[in-house]
Amino acid sequence: LTVSKRNENHLTVSKRNENHLTVVISPLLSLIHDQMLSLLSKGICALAYHGNMSYKEKQMTKNIILNGMNIRGNKKYIKILFTTPESLIGQLSNILNDLKHTLVIDEAHCISSWGGDFRPDYQKIRSEYVNVVALTGSADQRVENDIFSVLFESGHSNMNFHSKYDLKYS
């Protein structure tokens, strides 16, 4: 299942804007770590931000998100930021509000299955973001309805549900 909300004007701008950030919400730090290392090995600028990081690491990551970093004399901007729902709702919300970004929710079925008592911040993720993509491989109709009701306003006309297989970053 892929659930997406798109704004075509923003998509056009973000393709030309190297500062565009994709924020990936993931339920497990091990997934965050593995996905980040995979992208870095392909030369894609990626960082992680989560509660197990030290204060200094968090501050450094926020600074890189906002200002980019110099690599061999070239200014590079983070393309993908991996985080948890708790960090998105908490410490990252202020800086992300000012940036154009896409929100991707990996394992989106966690919104339904973990969003009650275990990981309540999943229920606080909303569709204020210009582009939202929710991905899961295990959603029945009830879970799809839960994801939709948490992320998007009722009656939203730009909603698409898709089944996708073998997605790749390009």
> CA-to-CA distance for 163 and 3, rounded, in angstroms?
9
CA–CA–CA angle 51, 83, 31 (5° rounding): 100
**What pTM, to 2 d.p., does this model score?**
0.76
CB-CB contact of 115 with 122 (8 Å): yes
CB-CB contact of 32 with 61 (8 Å): no
Nearest to 125 by CA among 152, 151, 86: 151
What superfamily does domain 2-162 belong to in CATH?
Answer: P-loop containing nucleotide triphosphate hydrolases (3.40.50.300)
Nearest to 109 by CA among 82, 79, 139, 68: 139
Task: Check the CA dihedral 32-37-40-41 and report its sign.
Answer: negative
Q: Which residue has the higher pLDDT, 115 or 81?
A: 81
pLDDT in tens, 6-34: 444 333 333 445 667 889 989 889 989 99
pLDDT in tens, 49-106: 999 999 999 999 999 988 887 777 777 888 899 999 889 888 888 888 777 788 888 8
CB-CB contact of 125 with 111 (8 Å): yes
Can you point out the beta strands (E) in the chain?
A: 2-5, 21-25, 46-49, 69-71, 74-76, 80-83, 101-105, 131-135, 159-162
Q: Can you give the residue ranges of every domain in the chain? A: 2-162
